[in-house]
Amino acid sequence: MDSEYRKGMLFALGSYLIWGMMPLYVVLMISVNPFELVGWRVFASLLIAALLLTFMRGWKRLRALWHDKRALAWLAASGVAILINWTTFAYAVLSERVLDTSLGYFLQPLLSVALAVVFLRERMRPLQWVAIGIMVVAVVVMIVGYGSVPIIALLLAGSFGIYGLLKKQAGKRVDALVGFTVETAATIPFSIGMIVVVAMTGGLTITEGPAYVPWLVLGFGVVTAGPLVMFASAARRLPLSVLSIMQYIAPIMSFLFGVFLLGVPMPLERLAAFALVWVALIVFTVDTLIYAGKSRRAARAARVEPLI
């Protein structure tokens, strides 16, 4: 295992573990309005990004990117996508709907494949079609069982899938920290609007809870910035097949947290929907591993010099 691959594994593991434990952190801020929470999170994340750029001498790289208007546009759009994702996540956790977040991140890899087909004209393999079909059945089961569309789960899956799609359009030459800084800066107007609307409608809530809550709110910028930067760093070092398997760590942790710590009920309809999603993910993972193995064998064969 080379050093870059090892770094990628550590970055990926770190990001998914932090994401998996995020509900534990967010639930401590139950007294804060979720929109206000995400608004303050943007300011805190931008401060952290500026400090990291200074410490890692990244301002020069940021200025160089300033001339690439296309990359800036893609990064700004990805910033909006991840803002929607975090806002939905905070709302779900603070309204005691943690299992919806788990379902959303279980659906995300399958929805990402569907987005790649629609927007990148990629061709789906047979097993991928099977996985997508099972996912659709799972959503139908959820709709029939609860009489409503699982909007939070679909919004989480869709916004993070679109985030990854937009990041891919920005190009690999944009390093993780610079990309995160641009994404965060692009959402400042939205964060200001969210805080202002909360202040005008019901009043700011950051000081309504225990004395430690404002510090947790500021820390939210750190604990959300860290995994995003680590994920971007991991994506540049690891094969997609490895990331596809490791990304299940976070929703599994959220699922266990919701069921065993928060005691969220698991009626038959919800259990059936989750079971179908897990089957779809198993099919998707098997397909990913098979395709990755074929790609490696083809690459090795291409490197073999002909005998004549």
For tokens 């399958």, name the residue. Answer: 110
Torsion sign (Cα): 270, 271, 275, 281: positive
What is the maximal distance between C-alpha atoms in the chain? 79
Torsion sign (Cα): 282, 14, 230, 92: positive
- Which tens digit of pLDDT belongs to each residue from 226-278? 888 888 788 777 776 677 677 788 888 988 888 888 888 888 888 888 899 89
How confident is the model at residue 203, as a pLDDT? 92
Give CA torsion, residues 182, 82, 251, 11, to 10 deg: -10
State how far the Cα of 134 lies from the Cα of 258, in Å rounded to an integer: 24
- Which tens digit of pLDDT belongs to each residue from 278-305? 998 889 888 878 877 776 777 677 665 5
Residue 38 has pLDDT above 80, yes or no: yes
CA distances in angstroms from 210 to 82, 90, 217, listed in the order given: 28, 19, 12
